Amino acid sequence: MTIQITIIGLGEIGASIGLALRYQKKDLFRVGADHLKSAEEAAKRSDAVDQIEHNLPKAVKNADIVVLAIPGSELDPTLETIASELKADATVIDFSLNKRRAYRTARKYLAKPDQFISIHVGLNRAAFDDPADGWRGAREDLFKGGTLTIAALDSTDPEVLELAQDLAVLLGAHCAFADASEIDGLTARSELAPAIAAYAFSAASFRSSGWNDQRKFGGKPFYRLSALVKKEWSGSSLADDLLANREFCVSALQEAVSVLKEIRDALNADDAETLTRLIEGTKSGREKWLEEYEKATWRRENEPRTERVSLGDSLGQFFFGALANRKKKN
């Protein structure tokens, strides 16, 4: 029995899912869709999908699984467009940033919101050093050794929860579970706060009276900071993510403002000791974080296994077996 998975959004996350699943062609048919033709063409060319279907209702019509790897601002119109075409037993797996909004949107449009689940991706450490964004940053090992954190609700279908865990196995990732609100609080600091800092300090430079002179200085630090400004997020999309998570973003900003005030006061006081302590402490914190992230020191031995499995002889197990059982029930 062949399972169809439709991936809507063929950027870094969506195309990487397709690439990681390309070894399951015997059991899996991958359909891809994106609003950018260039992303669709790149996904087909790299073998991230078996077929492109630009029309979203047609793309999901026969899908057993629909993966939404799209910005949060596109979630509402996308679910509204595809809801009536989804099969009764279709599972929808969302990777948008704000989990509370994702579940609100699912309840708004889906006939069976219990078959919807939202996941946050913790990437392979090696991917951190890749400057490419969007579909150019897609890679088969994007999730390998990383963590997929599942934000399941009490109402989530247990079989959908199991499928999400099995998908993590197929992608080479570990599994974790967290409350939707907890995930939103953490992503405000790990993903939105860096964007806020990049825009704030870049805007301050662009607006300053000295910009005509500063623009002649090609400093790597300013380039690296402002590189986040050219990220995939459009202005409206980033604004949407910030507003959807505004209470946690405000909290992160307050914490950052406190540190900025500490730096300002140390500068005004000509306090080299405080500045040195803050700088060295921050450097040590980053080094420790990267070391702990790479080793995943927080994981326990009883976590779901993460080895890539071969499905050729055991369709009764994991992803495809569970889906086959669901299809039989329906």
Higher pLDDT, 99 or 126: 99
* Cα dist from 326 to 94, 107, 150, 320, whole Å: 20, 21, 21, 10
With vertex at residue 65, the alpha carbon angle to CA 60 and CA 67, rounded to the nearest 5 degrees, is: 80
E-strand spans in 249-323?
A: none
- Averaged pLDDT for residues 151-177: 92
Does pLDDT of 23 surpass 60? yes
Segment among 68-72, 91-95, 143-147, 325-329 with least mean pLDDT? 325-329
* Distance separating alpha carbons of residues 79 and 83, to the nearest angstrom: 5
Q: Tell me the pLDDT tens digit for each residue of 26-56.
A: 889 999 999 999 999 999 999 999 999 999 9
* Cα dist from 175 to 20, 206, 253, 307, whole Å: 16, 42, 30, 12
- 151 — phi, psi (to 5°)? -105, 75
Q: Which of 136, 137, 127, 132 is nearest to 38 (CA)?
A: 136
Question: String of b and e for 171-187 (b: at least 16 CB within 10 Å)?
Answer: bbbbbbebebeebbbeb
- Averaged pLDDT for residues 233-243: 86
Which pairs count as long-range contacts for 80-84, CB under 8 Å and 24+ apart, including other chains? 80/109, 81/56, 81/57, 82/8, 82/56, 82/57, 83/109, 83/110, 83/111, 84/57
CATH class held by domain 3-179+302-329: alpha beta
Sheet holding 147-151, edge to edge: 51-52, 28-33, 3-8, 65-68, 91-94, 116-122, 147-151, 174-177
What superfamily does domain 182-295 belong to in CATH?
6-phosphogluconate dehydrogenase C-terminal like domain (1.10.3660.10)
pLDDT over 70 percentage in the chain: 89
Domain range list for the chain = 3-179+302-329, 182-295
Per-residue confidence at 327, pLDDT binned at 50, 70, 90? low
User: So what's the pLDDT on residue 61?
Assistant: 95
- Averaged pLDDT for residues 149-168: 93
pLDDT over 90 percentage in the chain: 74
Segment among 76-80, 268-272, 287-291 with least mean pLDDT? 287-291
Burial of 261: CB neighbours in 10 Å, binned 0-12, 13-18, 19+: exposed
Does pLDDT of 318 surpass 80? no
User: So what's the pLDDT on residue 277?
Assistant: 96
Beta bridge partners of 91: 65
Higher pLDDT, 177 or 315: 177
User: So what's the pLDDT on residue 231?
Assistant: 65
Provide the mean pLDDT of the chain: 89
Higher pLDDT, 201 or 307: 201
Per-residue confidence at 129, pLDDT binned at 50, 70, 90? confident
Q: For residue 229, what are the contacts with CB-CB under 8 A and spacing of at least 6?
A: 198, 199, 202
Given a contact cutoff of 8 angstroms between Cβ atoms, the answer to whether 7 and 14 are in contact is yes
Per-residue confidence at 300, pLDDT binned at 50, 70, 90? low
CA 266 to chain centroid, in Å, comes to 38
